[in-house]
Chains A and B, each alone.
Chain A
Amino acid sequence: GENVEQHPSTLSVQEGDSAVIKCTYSDSASNYFPWYKQELGKRPQLIIDIRSNVGEKKDQRIAVTLNKTAKHFSLHITETQPEDSAVYFCAATFYSGYALNFGKGTSLLVTP
């Protein structure tokens, strides 16, 4: 599938600080960009998503921004809490929207 690159691979922040994770994609036809949170031993769960006709979306402490021209999108978590500690995956559609390609993940650690 098409490439989705994600950075950083690990991120450690103190409780209350902000965390930013960035992804780039290669398929200009990609039109849907979800973010999944996966806690240890559990399934990935959708936390926020954005479509190509929107530049920014916010849900409480979580926001996602999309720059279609530059083909990159970012996850922003404000006022981080220890329960935010998990692996976060970005993803982008390919195959004309039938499948998702995931980034390699960012392991976020929020220390009290």
Chain B
Amino acid sequence: DAMVIQNPRYQVTQFGKPVTLSCSQTLNHNVMYWYQQKSSQAPKLLFHYYDKDFNNEADTPDNFQSRRPNTSFCFLDIRSPGLGDAAMYLCATSSEGADSPLHFGNGTRLTVT
């Protein structure tokens, strides 16, 4: 089945220790997104790529970076995780932008100790 796959499902990292979350898609969608979702809150957009064109939300902390080496893969790097970065990180894709349905991965739940 075509899908959006996130690894790992659960990630534990130490305060200040860099961590990378990964996302892959078999949908061949042009657009990929990273959302951060904290408990009982809405998903908050961190970045999106339209093909290789990178777009950073104005309030995304500098501590967060992203890479999209090819159409299928996208990575979220957190350079120095703080306790406040503990959250569910959701990757999503869409075929032509946000005016087409988003397909979400199952997410990576990040714990910072």
- Interfacial chain A residues near B55, Cβ < 8 Å: 95, 98-99
- Interfacial chain A residues near B57, Cβ < 8 Å: 1
What is the interface residue range for chain A against chain B? 20 to 34
Contact B105 A93 (CB under 8 A): no
Partner-contacting stretch, out of B15-23, B43-51, B79-87: B43-51
* A–B pairs, 7, beta carbons within 8 Å: A1-B45, A32-B98, A89-B43, A97-B97, A99-B55, A102-B44, A105-B42
Say yes or no: is B62 at the interface (Cβ < 8 Å to chain A).
Answer: no
What is the interface residue range for chain B against chain A? 20 to 34
Chain A interface (Cβ < 8 Å from any Cβ of B)? 1, 31-32, 34, 36, 42-46, 49, 51, 89, 93-95, 97-105, 107
- Interfacial chain B residues near A107, Cβ < 8 Å: 40
CB distance from A2 to the nearest CB of B (A): 11
Chain B, 31-64, contact with A by CB distance < 8 Å: what is the 0/1 string?
A: 1010000001111110010100001010000000
Report how many A-B pairs have Cβ atoms within 8 Å: 61
Contact A44 B98 (CB under 8 A): no
| Cβ 8 A contact of B33, one of A34, A99, A104 | A99
Given A32-B98, A43-B105, A44-B104, A99–B43 Cβ distance below 8 Å? no
Contact A101 B45 (CB under 8 A): yes
Say yes or no: is B102 at the interface (Cβ < 8 Å to chain A).
Answer: yes
Contact A45 B98 (CB under 8 A): no
Contact B104 A43 (CB under 8 A): yes
